[in-house]
Structure 1
C-alpha cells in the first residue's frame, strides 16, 4: 500500500534534512513524500529541494505563497493527499527504517482509522531520553492498552483515556486518509489540534490501532513553541477551551465517564503545577497567575 508522507516544514535545516533522509531510507519503498515549505528563509533550500525532486520521482516539493503557520500548513498538506493512508511527520523527527512497514501492518484491520506505533523520544542533540511528561504518557498508554502488545481501541474508553492525558505522538501517527480529510484540523487550535482531530475521528466511530513496535523517534525540544506557550499560559487557555468542547460533545454521545474526565482534565492541571517553579525562576508573574488559575479552577 502506498502511504503519503507529508512533511510540513519551517525550521532547522539540518534537522529537516535528517527527517527527509529517514523517509528515503525506509525498508518499505512504497511511499510518496511531499514537502510543504512554509516559506522558511534560507537561501540554500531551493537547490537542495530541486536536487531531491530530480533524483527521486516519489518526492514532491511545494513552497507556500505566504506563511500559513503550523495549523494552516497542516491543512494545506491535507489538500495534497493522494493515497489511502497518510502520516504528517514533524520536520525535525526521525523515522526508523521499519516505520512504514510497521504502520502498514496496523491498517490490515479495515475498521482502523488511526495507527499509533511505538516511539522513542530524542532531544535536540539526537540523544534518546525520557522526561517526566513522556513517562506519564507511557503510563497512560499502558493503562489504555493493558497487557496486550498490540491493541485496537475505540469509543468512550479511548476518548476517556486520551482526554485524561494525551499519550499520542502526533508526528508518528498514521491516518486513514478519508477520516483525516473528513474532519481536518480545527482552525482555532495551535497546540491541541492533533488531539482534537483524533477525538473527532473517535467520536465518529473510528478505531485506533496501538502497536508496540518502536519505529519512530520524536524530538522533544526543551524550548519548543508549545513549551513557551505553556510557560506564559497560552497553552492551558487553549486546552481549557478544548476540554469544555469535549464535555459538551461527550455528553451528547452519552459518554458520561469521558465527560467527567474532560471536566477534570487532571494531567493538564498537574502539568501546569509542574511548570510553576520554572515560571517563578523566569519571573513570568502573569504566566504564573494563569498556571495557578488553570490548576485550581473548577
Structure 2
C-alpha cells in the first residue's frame, strides 16, 4: 500500500466512494490504492463485491488497517445494476462517487470535487484520460468523439443545466460515469432505472437534468478511466443487445422531452446520431465474430 497522505480536506464532511466490484483483482487493488492516496482524506470507501469467485479480495481487505474502508460481499450475484442500487442505498455522505473497480483517481480528484461542490451543483465531471487493461494510455475512436462533442471548459471551470445540457448529452454522451461525483439527494430523488444496463449512466444524468439539476465541468484531468476490449458493453455492442437497449431508451427520452416542451432535446433523442454511428462502426467486429449484422443495421437505419 502507498503511504497515507497528510491530513487535509476541502470538504466540511466526508465524501463516500462506492466501489461496486466484479473482475480483475490486481486492477481493483490499484483502484482502492488510488482512493486511499487522495489528498482529501475525509472519505469513506465502500467496496461491494458482487460474488467474484476468488478468495483474494476478502483476504486482502481483511489485511488493511484503514478504518475508512468497508468491504462487503453479496451472497448472490445481483448484476451491475443491482449492485449500483445497493451501493446507493448505503451512501451516507452528502456527495458520493460510484467508481469503477478498475479505474484510477488522481490524488487531487476529491479535493477538486470538494471545491466544486460549494457552487450549488448536483453533478461534477472532471477531464479524464483513458487506460487500457495494460495501463497504457490510449485514445480510441469513441473517446476521440467524446472529446469532440464535450463542451469547452474555461480555466475556471463551467456550469451547465437545462435543455442545452440535455441536448449536448443526447447528441453524444461525453460524460464518464465512474469519474462523476454526485449530490446524494439529487440521485435519490430519481434513482437508478431498473430496466437499463448499458444506458443507465446517461439515463441518470438526464433524469437529474430534467429535475432541474446543474452539472459542473472541471478543467483539470483528475481521473483515469479504463477501457477493456472484453468489457460487457463491448460484447453487448457486437451482438446488438446494447443498441436494442439504446434504441428503446432514446425513444422513451424523445417522448419525455416532447412532453416537457424541450423540442431540441426531443429531436436529439429521436435522432441519437452518435449511437447509430457507433453501431455502424461496430459492424466489422460483428462480421469478424460471425454475428448477424442485422441488429446493428436495424439500429443504424432507424
TM-score tier (shorter): over 0.9
1:79 counterpart residue number: 89
Q: TM-score, normalised by structure 1?
A: 0.95
Find 2:100's aligned residue among 75, 90, 95. Answer: 90
The 1-side partners of 2:229 and 2:62 are apart by 32
The 2-side partners of 1:214 and 1:106 are apart by 14
Contact kept, 8 Å, 1:244 with 1:263, in 2: the verdict is: yes
Contact kept, 8 Å, 2:129 with 2:225, in 1: the verdict is: yes
The 1-side partners of 2:272 and 2:147 are apart by 18
1:160 counterpart residue number: 167
Tell me the secondary structure at the aligned position of residue 90 of structure 2.
Answer: coil
2:298 counterpart residue number: 293
Given the alignment of the two structures, is residue 237 of structure 1 paired with residue 249 of structure 2, yes or no?
no
Please state how far the C-alpha of 1:151 moved relative to its aligned partner: 1.1
Contact kept, 8 Å, 2:153 with 2:219, in 1: the verdict is: no
Q: How does 1:71-220 map to 2 (within 5 A)?
A: 71-110=81-120, 112-141=121-150, 144-145=151-152, 150-220=157-227
Tell me the secondary structure at the aligned position of residue 247 of structure 2.
Answer: helix
The 2-side partners of 1:238 and 1:106 are apart by 33
2:31 counterpart residue number: 19
Cα 1:49–1:146 change in 2 (3 A) is closer
The 2-side partners of 1:269 and 1:57 are apart by 47
Given the alignment of the two structures, is residue 32 of structure 1 paired with residue 12 of structure 2, yes or no?
no
2:266 counterpart residue number: 259
Aligned length, in residue pairs: 290
Please state how far the C-alpha of 1:86 moved relative to its aligned partner: 0.2
Q: Please identify, of 144-153 and 246-255, the stretch whose mean Cα deviation from structure 2 is larger.
A: 144-153
Please state how far the C-alpha of 1:146 moved relative to its aligned partner: 5.9
Runs in 1 of length 4+ with deviation above 6 angstroms?
none
Q: RMSD of the alignment, in Å?
A: 1.1
Q: Structure 1 unaligned runs (5+)?
A: none
The 1-side partners of 2:245 and 2:272 are apart by 13
The 2-side partners of 1:66 and 1:268 are apart by 33
Tell me the secondary structure at the aligned position of residue 187 of structure 1.
Answer: coil
Tell me the secondary structure at the aligned position of residue 77 of structure 2.
Answer: coil
Contact kept, 8 Å, 1:145 with 1:210, in 2: the verdict is: no
Find 1:227's aligned residue among 209, 221, 234. Answer: 234
Find 1:46's aligned residue among 58, 61, 69. Answer: 58
The 1-side partners of 2:61 and 2:248 are apart by 39
The 1-side partners of 2:37 and 2:70 are apart by 16
